[in-house]
Structure formats: structure tokens, C-alpha cells
Amino acid sequence: MSRSERMGRKIRKLAVRAAVAIHGTTSRWQRIGAVGRFARSSVRPDAVQLDAIRHQANAALADNILPFWASHAVDDRHGGFVTHLDRAGQWLGPTDKYLVPQARLVWTFAAAHRHGLVDKGYLDTAAAGAHFLVERMWDAEVGGFHWTVQRDGRPSVRDKVTYGQAFAIFALSEYALAADSRWARNWAINTFDVLAERAGDGPFGFREKFDERWRPAPGRIGSGKTVNVHLHLIEALTRLFQATGETRHAAQLRDLIDLVLSHGVHRRDFYAIDDLLENDWRWRKSPLRTSYGHNVELAWLVRHAIDVLGDPADRVRNHVLGLIDHALDFGFDHRHGGLALAGPPLGRARFAWYLGADLRIRRWWEQAEMLVATLVAYELTREPRYLLAFERQFDWVWSHQIDHREGDWFESTHWQTGNPLSLIKGGEWKEPYHGARALMEVSQRLSKLIGQPPDS
């Protein structure tokens, strides 16, 4: 890169940072007004409408997303799952098996069984996937799961990644609960113990990236911390504590919640810091953008963890509502529903042209997390604005994100038209976890609100 090119890049970065600062300053007072206007919505709970949404969610789960993945992803020859799928579920070619989607599919089928879909063979599917994880992806020499294996289970990327270990714990804990399996429970405990020993960083949570022998990756990538990895550690520990009831798991979960909320969320404006943070969770610079999906996902997962722990909701109430309100104020389409991919720390995503055109793409997983978050916020406050946001978000997902013809969810859709931008249904980062989890949460939470069993 020439000197002039380097200078041009530096000037562009400074210009973007200036635009973020100006946009944020002018948006802070607008945020208060927007919340006030939205709060005056006259919507009230309509049991008939909510029950209709519940039935739609149950149908989307039982008749759409789960059959798609059960029919197309199961590898009967070698075990585990093949996740690179086109719109109709045909394999696209790559057959390597990545730790995260393998674990997420185990979780999905085990959770579906626990949700009440007990006559579909999903527990057997989860069992086969769990055994593939342990028998083909576990590193018997140093402990921990390989990042990637070939279709037949031979390791191809032996690196140890905390994000992947978290999902393995999550999946094995869920399967332990679904099957009442001591084997799975012990493997979940063992995986967490190895992770705590190899990656634990005292009061600063967990280091995140290692080579095949658990040596930290060089530079900041091996020492830095991210909210995303730690929010999924919160999720994994929540399920592990449900499976074990051990006080040490509860204590570790409480410590993680406190760490992430106190160091990973902006204290005044309540957005999660999406950048790579220092080892001790300091940030080098103010972030240029924040992920609305991570904000709302963190909010509802923390709220769920507190419920599982039996701790008072007030302990996390301000953070939970602050994170969700931030997404509603700046990233949500109040007219049609739908959540933007990302945006500036303060300021509406639709005006943040200076951050790039991709911000307003509606990806599947952010839509799923917003569904649950708005419903959780309504449960916590009974404020009508959250219920209205939930209903509009569900309408967007039902009308545009779910593929009613072939099954599963479209990966991304156009902000204005809702037309799919991609027809690929699966890859190394896309499987049914976000969508299925959201539909189960919606079904269960609406059932409590209207006083009906989830499977009725």
C-alpha cells in the first residue's frame, strides 16, 4: 500500500469517526422523544391474537424448520450433520463439520424433544449427534473439541476456540436434560472443567482463541475478550447449571453475568461493546458500530439466566431493558417490524449511510433474537409498546423471513421489500438454532401469558 493510499484510509476512518460522533450527539435527545411517542401506544393484550401467534410459532417449528433439518442435514453414513444446504436442502458440496453447527443441531433436536415434540425421533437424532461430537471431535490427548473435522470425523482444524467449547457444553447439557443422560451430563461437566482450566482468566472471564494444544493465539486475538463469546458462555452455563444443580456452576454464572454487564455494556447508553476488548475488558477506542442482535440476545439470555438461578429480576432489569430499548430506538422498523444488522452506538441505522450499505440487511438470527427480547421486555414491564413491537416483529418474520415453500428461514432479506437476498439455507454459521430457539421461546412465553400449555 502506497503512502497516499495509507493517508486516504486514515482520512476516511477519521471522517467516519466524526460522523459517528455527530450522529450520536444529535440522537441522544431524539431517543427520549422516540421512546415517549412509542410508549403511548394504545395496544393492549389480546388473548385471541396472541394465541393465534402461538399456534403459528408452533406450526413453524413443528412443520417447517425442524423437518427441513431432520430430513436434509443428518449424515447417516458418517454421523453428525452436513450443514451446507441450498434452498431445497440439497448438499452444496462442502462436507466439513464445524464444531458450532454440530453442537447447535444437537441442542436443537434435544430441545425440540423437551419442548414436547416427543414422537418425531428428535431425541434419537440428538443422541447420534452428541455421540459424533464426543467420539469424533473430542481431542483425547489435550482435551477440548476440535474446531473442524472432515465428513468422516478426521480432524482438519485442531484449534481450540472458546466459542465452540461453549456450544458443546450447551448442547450436551440440553441432551442430558432431554434424555436424563448421566453420560451427557458428565461430558458437559468435563468440557467445562477443561475450558476453565485451559482458558479461564480469573476475574476477567475466559480467553478465547488457542492453537491445537491450548496455547493462546498470538497478539490481541489470543488475549482479548468479546461480549459475543461471553454471552454464549452465559447461555452454556445456564443450561449446565440446570443439568447439574451444582453451586460452583451457579457461582461461575453469576460472575460472568456481572462481568459482562459491568464491563461489556455502555453504562449510560446501554449498548454492548462489539469490538475486541483488552484482556481486562478495557476498550481502546469508542466503537463505531454496535450489533443490535447481540444487544437483544444478551438482554434476554441474562434475564433467562437470572430466572434459572432464582435471583431477583431487579438485579439485571436496567441492563435488560436498556439493551432492548437501544435496539428499538435505533435499529427497529416500527412500521413493518424487522431489526437492522448493526448501527452506530447512538443514532438510527437508517441514517448511518457512512457505515456502509449492509447495515439494514435483515439477517435471520437478529430477527429471531428480537422476537424473544421484545416478549421478555413485555413480561418484565407489561408496557404495551413492547407487545406491539413483538407483534410487528413476528409479522415480519412470518411474512418475509420464513420460507413457507421449502422450509427453514431465509438467511437475509431486503430492508424494504422483504425479498430474500440469499437462498442458501445452511453453512458453517447457519443452521436452525436461532430460529428454532426463538419459536420455542415464543411458544412457551405466550403460553404462560394466555394460560395455555405450549403444545395445545
Contacts 24+ apart (CB under 8 A), 43-50: 43/384, 43/385, 43/387, 43/388, 43/391, 44/384, 45/387, 45/449, 47/450, 49/391, 50/446, 50/449, 50/450
Mean pLDDT of 293-319: 97
> Is-above-0.85 flag for pTM?
yes
- pLDDT of residue 7 exceeding 80, the answer is no
- pLDDT of residue 217 exceeding 60, the answer is yes
**CA 390 – CA 446 distance, rounded (Å):** 11
What are the tens digits of pLDDT across the range 329-362? 999 999 999 999 999 999 988 877 777 877 779 9
Nearest to 106 by CA among 170, 191, 17: 170
* Residue 217 burial (10 A CB sphere; 0-12, 13-18, 19+): middle
In a domain, 199, yes or no: yes
Nearest to 179 by CA among 125, 233, 132: 125
In a domain, 456, yes or no: no
Q: For the chain, how big is the Rg over CA atoms in Å? A: 21
Give me the helices (H) in 287-411, please. 292-309, 317-330, 364-381, 384-396
Q: pLDDT band at 253, cuts 50/70/90? A: very high
Classify each residue of 51-88 as buried b or exposed e, where b means 16 or more C-beta atoms within 10 Å of its C-beta: bebbebbbebbbebbbebbbebbbbeeebbbbbbbebe
Q: pLDDT at position 286, please?
A: 83
Task: Let me know: does 379 contact 325? Beta carbons within 8 Å.
Answer: no
In a domain, 455, yes or no: no
Our count of domains for the chain comes to 1
Share the mean pLDDT of the chain. Answer: 91
Which amino acid, residue 63?
Answer: D
- pLDDT of residue 102 exceeding 90, the answer is yes
Q: pLDDT band at 93, cuts 50/70/90? A: confident
In a domain, 42, yes or no: yes
**CA 114 – CA 192 distance, rounded (Å):** 23
- pLDDT of residue 21 exceeding 60, the answer is no
DSSP state of 405: T
What are the tens digits of pLDDT across the range 395-418? 999 999 999 999 999 999 999 999
Query: What Å distances lie between residue 101 and 75, 80, 218, 424, CA to CA?
Result: 13, 10, 26, 15
**CA 450 – CA 456 distance, rounded (Å):** 12
Q: Which three cell numbers stand for residue 362?
A: 435483515
What are the tens digits of pLDDT across the range 160-215? 999 999 999 999 999 999 999 999 999 999 999 999 999 999 999 999 999 999 99
Q: pLDDT at position 344, please?
A: 93
What are the tens digits of pLDDT across the range 259-278? 999 999 999 999 999 999 99
Biggest alpha carbon distance in the chain? 67
Cell 437424532, residue located: 125
* Residue 16 burial (10 A CB sphere; 0-12, 13-18, 19+): middle
In a domain, 210, yes or no: yes
**CA 108 – CA 407 distance, rounded (Å):** 16
Mean pLDDT of 26-41: 49
Least confident span in 45-59, 109-123, 183-197, 345-359 = 345-359
* Residue 32 burial (10 A CB sphere; 0-12, 13-18, 19+): exposed
Classify 323 as helix, strand or coil.
Answer: helix
The residue segments making up the domain with residue 61 are 3-450
Task: Let me know: does 122 contact 174? Beta carbons within 8 Å.
Answer: no
**CA 324 – CA 52 distance, rounded (Å):** 25
**CA 175 – CA 184 distance, rounded (Å):** 7
Q: pLDDT at position 275, please?
A: 92
Classify 94 as helix, strand or coil.
Answer: coil
- Residues of the chain with pLDDT > 90: what percent? 82
CATH value at residue 299: 1.50.10.10
Tell me how many degrees the CA angle 450-455-456 measures, rounded to the nearest 5: 60
In a domain, 366, yes or no: yes
> Within 10 Å of residue 21's Cβ, how many Cβ atoms?
16
In a domain, 316, yes or no: yes
